[in-house]
Structure 1
């Protein structure tokens, strides 16, 4: 964490976006001695301890960030207690023998084990099936606020199981891992596209759409992290401040429309820092995606309109089939 003081606001039971902390290790410079927020129900250290997440402090995290900025992502280990008492050569070996992120299939590790439903708030307008590849809690919540009943299904769900729920739309969430390994998810999405069911994808879901359309993906030397990344909506020219957390990207041309098996596709959004593809839009069937996190958990609210766009897409699709 590059902010110098971490833990000032403590830890509460209201803002969780998942059932647990998913990082394997946590690195900070100066941990707060005590939280100072009235909403706090405990300390960050207590939460890390309770969830068995190792942490380390006293690190110049900004210097470390600059180091990684020049050299790219690296493997690392954080050891404490009895684990740290082992010989350095043994610890180093454990670090270097970690599997590479390229080729890692991790979505199944973070997905829900069974389907659950988040009911629509007020009148139900649409039913959406959301494949959980590492979904944040705010995502179905924002859909529910728009009158969407959300059926969150495991990563292992088949296209037949998804379509049997008769969804008005299908959603694929953010999540970890190399998108090139996601053969199951990509095949499911292709069957969804074949059925012309409206589709919306976020982050990993954007990479799923890219690969389903026939584009490649690649690992970024410098992953996009943080809540202040500038992205341009190429249809309007508007620049949005967006939240990012991705180490892979879609390899699609940004200077022209592409012809795919599913018709014409254009890159709808680009990152202004490095021209990385940040969104895709199908022009001949109802599907679009973005690489960043419009659910604003955490992050800015500039892109919340994308959930409204999904609603409009489903409403239009239902009107055409009526």
Structure 2
């Protein structure tokens, strides 16, 4: 079964493997297959589920809500997010204005078929809305009982500090950060993690297997496997392309003997690796097949010895991205149209 960890400086426990439906539900995966994946997650003990209003332009929330509606709500932790354009994508269908937040939470609750979400997250930082307005709107969402806790995604260290400061003043709990984090993408380690630790915030990380690169299925000098994310022109290929070069793929192949020593698949090793960071509360895993969920669940509770952590660093060498500025560079400085 899956281990639980506290989320930030709160009493909320979540499963250290959290099921996410970005790029899958209502997009790459048929609804019946999506239901099978969620059932597999529940069967292995995953009770935390992450989605967002923007996924499949709101349809992913609907699919997840339909699948989970027969489950005991009190036994689940449901997370969603707000920021990116949704609906007809009008001038106010995007961002973290009070208007968009208040309308978006109502839409998300309807689609998810629940009275509240456990965690409501700012999907990016909105440079066009005063932070005070954003946090006040989040506080009202909490006071109305529509969300229990607040989180952020891909915010810088300074943005997290300011958000937590305002949350404290408003007497609500901002307890989580959802950044990209993997063996290959470690941009949060130098600034975001220390700021989070001092602020009572922990990480729910996405892409722990680097869009599938860390599974080892992409070989240097070879075309990507048919049907893999690297061949998905609907969005997957664009996300993975930063890792799709022979230098990275050659280094990744050096991880296979380390995984074998631990009797793990390379995907399990990658997920277990992010969970070694004490500031990480959960790794988000997605799936297009239920057996992927079952296999990845075996990463829960794995402890990687220090000497093998060192060997991982040596194997990957200087291909690891560590620059904290990447958090700013990969995020929009103005609301997307």
Superposition TM-score, scaled by structure 1 size? 0.27
Higher strand share: 1
Higher helix share: 2
- Structure with greater contact order relative to length (CA < 8 Å, sep ≥ 6): 2
Larger gyration radius, structure 1 or structure 2: 1
